[in-house]
């Protein structure tokens, strides 16, 4: 992508000039057409299609276990489907002879977006969507544990949490951000994390003020500021038993895409 286009994309991410995607209209990041301005290929271009094999899982071997993926904050499901097909090596246009080896669960707090995801789901036997607020500890644990129990598992093999952390942080505070990371680590063997940088916090708050709306509940009192990605990494490594395995670089919006794994599962460079 040309430098000018990259700069425009970065501006669109933080300023969100389309009113339907304004932070004032979607204070929890539940934009109604999010993937129109941040299409899935922005992330898929960075993630190797061999990722599951690289971290020790196979969706092709007849003797391999079922591999379970979780997409937190899945919105209308476009990225969930793209991630599934990318890692499975299949297209959404392929026939319905799905492999039973790879399953994905997408969750989002917006029931309308989940309904859209369900209605457009090309792989209903392999991809499921449920409305779920990940910040509600008891409810989220119950629903996720119920899903995992269907496969005889207690943890997901891989969890994707992309562009979610800022909205939890702004609406629920410092403790909720750390709790989110702890929760994701507790039911995932590997975590694919993309945290919004601090400049986007300021932009989201500025947009609310420009619209004359009430500020985010915790913006002015947040103590976790600056390099949010580094703070998330420190928490995952110091308090959650996870280790940074690999950085896939930065998206066109200058956000780092990081892969973490449980420390005992590290196998050297992947």
Burial of 32 (0-12, 13-18, 19+ CB in 10 A): middle
Contact 169, 198 (CB under 8 A): no
Residue 245 included in any domain: yes
Q: Among 82, 112, 228, which Cα is nearest to 168's?
A: 228
The pLDDT tens digits along the chain (270 residues) read 444 444 444 444 564 544 445 655 688 889 888 888 899 999 999 999 999 999 998 766 544 579 999 999 999 999 999 999 999 875 544 444 345 589 999 999 999 999 999 999 999 999 999 999 999 989 999 999 999 999 999 999 999 999 999 999 999 999 999 999 999 999 999 999 999 999 999 998 888 888 777 789 899 999 999 999 999 999 999 999 999 999 999 988 889 999 999 986 444 444
The Cα 31–Cα 108 span in angstroms is 11
Residue 45 included in any domain: yes
Residue 246 included in any domain: yes
Looking at residue 233, its pLDDT comes to: 98
Looking at residue 78, its pLDDT comes to: 98
Residue 72 included in any domain: yes
The Cα 200–Cα 236 span in angstroms is 22
Three-state DSSP string of 201-266: HHHHHHHHHHCCCCCCCCHHHCCCCCCHHHHHHHHHHHHCCEEEEEEEEECCCCCEEEEEEEHHHC
Looking at residue 4, its pLDDT comes to: 40
The Cα 124–Cα 119 span in angstroms is 10
Domains in the chain, number = 1
Q: How many CA atoms lie within 13 A of 11 on its CB side?
A: 7
Query: Where residue 146 sits, what CATH number does that domain have?
Result: 3.40.50.150
> For 64-108, how does the pLDDT look when each residue is reduced to its tens digit (9 = 90+)?
579 999 999 999 999 999 999 999 875 544 444 345 589 999 999
Task: Give the domain extent around 94.
Answer: 3-265
Looking at residue 93, its pLDDT comes to: 47
The Cα 68–Cα 106 span in angstroms is 11
Residue 36 included in any domain: yes
Residue 270 included in any domain: no
> For 144-157, how does the pLDDT look when each residue is reduced to its tens digit (9 = 90+)?
999 999 999 999 99
């Amino acid at each position: 992508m040309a430098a000018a286009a990259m700069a425009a994309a970065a501006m669109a991410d933080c300023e969100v000039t389309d009113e339907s995607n304004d932070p004032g209209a979607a204070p929890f990041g539940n934009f109604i057409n999010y993937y129109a301005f941040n299409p899935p290929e922005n992330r898929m271009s960075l993630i190797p299609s061999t990722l599951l094999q690289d971290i020790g899982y196979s969706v092709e071997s007849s003797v391999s276990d079922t591999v379970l993926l979780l997409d937190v904050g899945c919105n209308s499901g476009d990225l969930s489907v793209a991630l599934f097909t990318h890692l499975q090596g299949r297209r959404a246009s392929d026939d319905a002879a799905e492999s039973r080896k790879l399953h994905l669960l997408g969750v989002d707090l917006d029931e309308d977006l989940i309904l859209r995801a369900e209605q457009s789901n090309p792989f209903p036997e392999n991809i499921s969507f449920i409305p779920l607020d990940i910040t509600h500890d008891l409810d989220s644990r119950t629903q996720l544990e119920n899903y995992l129990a269907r496969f005889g598992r207690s943890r997901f093999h891989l969890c994707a949490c992309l562009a979610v952390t800022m909205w939890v942080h702004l609406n629920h505070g410092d403790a909720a951000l750390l709790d989110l990371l702890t929760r994701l680590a507790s039911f995932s063997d590997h975590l694919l994390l993309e945290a919004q940088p601090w400049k986007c916090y300021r932009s989201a708050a500025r947009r609310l003020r420009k619209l004359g709306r009430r500020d985010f509940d915790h913006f002015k009192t947040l103590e976790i500021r600056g390099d949010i990605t580094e703070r998330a990494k420190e928490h995952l490594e110091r308090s959650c038993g996870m280790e940074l395995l690999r950085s896939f670089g930065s998206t066109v919006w200058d956000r780092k895409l990081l892969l973490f794994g449980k420390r005992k599962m590290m196998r050297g460079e992947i």
